[in-house]
Amino acid sequence: MDARGAPPHKVLAELQKAHNDDLRFRDGTILGSMCTEPLPVARRAHSMFLEANLGNPGYYKGTWRLERETLRILADLLHGKNLGGFTVSGATEGNITALWMARNTTRRKEIVAAKTAHFSVRKAADLLGMRIVEVPHDDEYRLDVDALRKAVTKDTAAVVAVAGTTELGQVDPIGAIGELCLDRAFLHVDAAFGGFVLPFLHGGDLPRWDFRVAGVSSLVLDAHKMGMATIPASHLLVREARHFERIAVESPYLTTVYQTSLLGTRNSAGVAAAYAAMRSLGREGYRKIVARCMKNTSAIVERAREAGIEPVIEPVVNIAAFPLRDVEAAQRALEKKGWRVSTSRNPPALRVVVMPHITAEGAAAFADDLVSLCRKLGEPPRKA
Ligand code: 0PR
């Protein structure tokens, strides 16, 4: 650190220079991220609550009310009654907290999950001294329930199911998983991505995946992904609030006697941003956003299909993955054209996340580039 401070204009110029090197969702070229441009009202809300700290809620009664109200809105959306929960920084913290609670409540050490679960579950297992028992998935990349039946034992603390897997956007058969877990193990649903998509999907007969499934113990969903809020804003909801007691730590000099969150000082700007996004969009607003994302996803898939490029699975949410011979070469070629896409490992595929910042024109332009580059790279149409 310098001995003397620099004048604000100089500092701001440095910040601007760094900011200019960042990509921006608004440019419409990012198809490799699960985040998007936050809603303007969410940005405003975020900047209003920069001082608040929900780690000490007694000083921030208004923010605390907003958090409770946000959780009430979400519980209603996800068909839960009298749920416990709080805002977390992301699904990583949500997954760690849920598994921490499961370990301390059951006094068991095994987490059963499919390979398709997010890597944050591995972080949780490592931190908590737990062991992951990996179960296979079916041909459609959904957790295999028959395999799960064998894997759940008296040592199982929790099963992790995913509603919107990171790589393919697939939804595990949570109804059947819930039946299996009921009275036997915790069932934690990772709806980091799907949480703000599945409730708003038009039509379809999506099997139940939320608190309507009796076996679901906890659920995490990220408002900083499809929730249109700012980063960081995520929510952990727990069917039985008393489970939080198992991870409670005394916090004697604060305004609350116990703290049940992993984090001490807690971000509150994200709480306000999530509240603002949900209040101003309402179900209808999210429905429109999800419908547009799904339409653009279908447009990309259909165009690719015409050129003989089949997606790994029929997209369930606004994620599509194309199994190419040389995924990295295709990614590089698309990057040269200005597109940012990501890849999946299981199976190796080019992965696109069609977020709200992608317009219909953008989706069409991307699909054209994808098809022509694949032709140029000699990507053979995949045989069914
Ligand atoms: N669970 C699932 C199903 C996820 O997809 C993710 C994140 C997490 C948990 C962890 O959530 P947090 O990162 O909020 O703690 N999925 C993305 C990923 O790892 C996160 C992401 C988002 C990465 C935007 C890059 C990016 O540009 O790919």
**Predicted confidence (pLDDT) at residue 209 exceeds the cutoff of 80:** yes
162 Cα nearest atom in ligand 1: 3
Per-residue pLDDT band for 79 (boundaries 50, 70, 90) equals very high
The reply to whether domains 8-38+282-376 and 40-278 share a CATH topology is no
Q: Which of 42, 31, 44 is nearest to 285 (CA)?
A: 42
Give the pairing type, strands 156-162 and 186-190. parallel
Which of 209, 222, 234, 341 to mutate to test ligand 1, by most ligand atoms within 8 A of the CB atom? 222
How far apart CA 294 and CA 202 sit, in angstroms, is 9
Per-domain residue ranges for the chain? Answer: 8-38+282-376, 40-278
Residue owning tokens 């009202």: 41
Q: Whose CA is nearest to atom 20 of ligand 1?
A: 34
Q: Whose CA is nearest to atom 22 of ligand 1?
A: 34
How confident is the model at residue 283, as a pLDDT?
A: 97
120 Cα to the center of ligand 1, angstroms: 9
**Predicted confidence (pLDDT) at residue 351 exceeds the cutoff of 70:** yes
How confident is the model at residue 202, as a pLDDT?
A: 82
The pLDDT of 153-161, averaged and rounded, is: 98
Q: Which of 117, 39, 31 is nearest to 318 (CA)?
A: 31
- Please, which residues have CB within 8 angstroms of residue 134's CB and are 6 or more apart in sequence? 113, 114, 115
**Predicted confidence (pLDDT) at residue 276 exceeds the cutoff of 70:** yes
**At what angle are helices 360-376 and 327-336 packed, to 10 degrees?**
120
Residue 40 CB neighbour total at 10 angstroms: 10
How confident is the model at residue 292, as a pLDDT?
A: 98
How far apart CA 276 and CA 45 sit, in angstroms, is 6
- Would you say the CB of residue 172 lies under 6 angstroms from ligand 1? no
Position 130, amino acid: M
- The DSSP code for 38 is P
How confident is the model at residue 257, as a pLDDT?
A: 80
How confident is the model at residue 281, as a pLDDT?
A: 98
pTM exceeds cut of 0.75: yes
384 Cα to the center of ligand 1, angstroms: 31
CATH architecture assigned to 8-38+282-376:
Alpha-Beta Complex (3.90)
The pLDDT of 250-272, averaged and rounded, is: 88
- Would you say the CB of residue 234 lies under 6 angstroms from ligand 1? yes
Q: 170 near 316, Cβ under 8 Å?
A: yes
- The DSSP code for 3 is S
Q: Whose CA is nearest to atom 16 of ligand 1?
A: 166
Burial class (CB in 10 A: 0-12, 13-18, 19+), 310: middle
- Would you say the CB of residue 117 lies under 6 angstroms from ligand 1? no
How confident is the model at residue 314, as a pLDDT?
A: 97
Grouping H, G, I as helix, E, B as strand and the rest as coil, residue 20 is helix
Residue-wise pLDDT for 224-236, tens only, equals 999 999 999 999 9
**Predicted confidence (pLDDT) at residue 384 exceeds the cutoff of 50:** no
**Predicted confidence (pLDDT) at residue 383 exceeds the cutoff of 60:** no
Mean of all residue pLDDT scores within the chain: 95
Q: Which of 100, 121, 70, 124 is nearest to 235 (CA)?
A: 70
**Predicted confidence (pLDDT) at residue 134 exceeds the cutoff of 90:** yes
How far apart CA 162 and CA 326 sit, in angstroms, is 28
Residue-wise pLDDT for 22-65, tens only, equals 999 999 999 999 999 999 999 999 999 999 999 888 999 999 99
The pLDDT of 15-28, averaged and rounded, is: 97
How far apart CA 224 and CA 90 sit, in angstroms, is 8
**Predicted confidence (pLDDT) at residue 381 exceeds the cutoff of 70:** no
235 Cα to the center of ligand 1, angstroms: 14
How far apart CA 207 and CA 173 sit, in angstroms, is 7
**Predicted confidence (pLDDT) at residue 382 exceeds the cutoff of 60:** no
- Would you say the CB of residue 342 lies under 6 angstroms from ligand 1? no
Which of 127, 166, 167 to mutate to test ligand 1, by most ligand atoms within 8 A of the CB atom? 166
Per-residue pLDDT band for 308 (boundaries 50, 70, 90) equals very high
- Does the 40-278 domain belong in CATH 3.40.640.10? yes
**Predicted confidence (pLDDT) at residue 215 exceeds the cutoff of 90:** yes
How confident is the model at residue 148, as a pLDDT?
A: 98
Q: 99 near 157, Cβ under 8 Å?
A: yes
Cα–Cα separations (whole angstroms), residue 46 to 65, 267, 271, 324? 16, 10, 8, 41
The pLDDT of 85-114, averaged and rounded, is: 97
How confident is the model at residue 203, as a pLDDT?
A: 73
The pLDDT of 80-85, averaged and rounded, is: 96
- Would you say the CB of residue 90 lies under 6 angstroms from ligand 1? yes
32 Cα nearest atom in ligand 1: 27
How confident is the model at residue 204, as a pLDDT?
A: 63
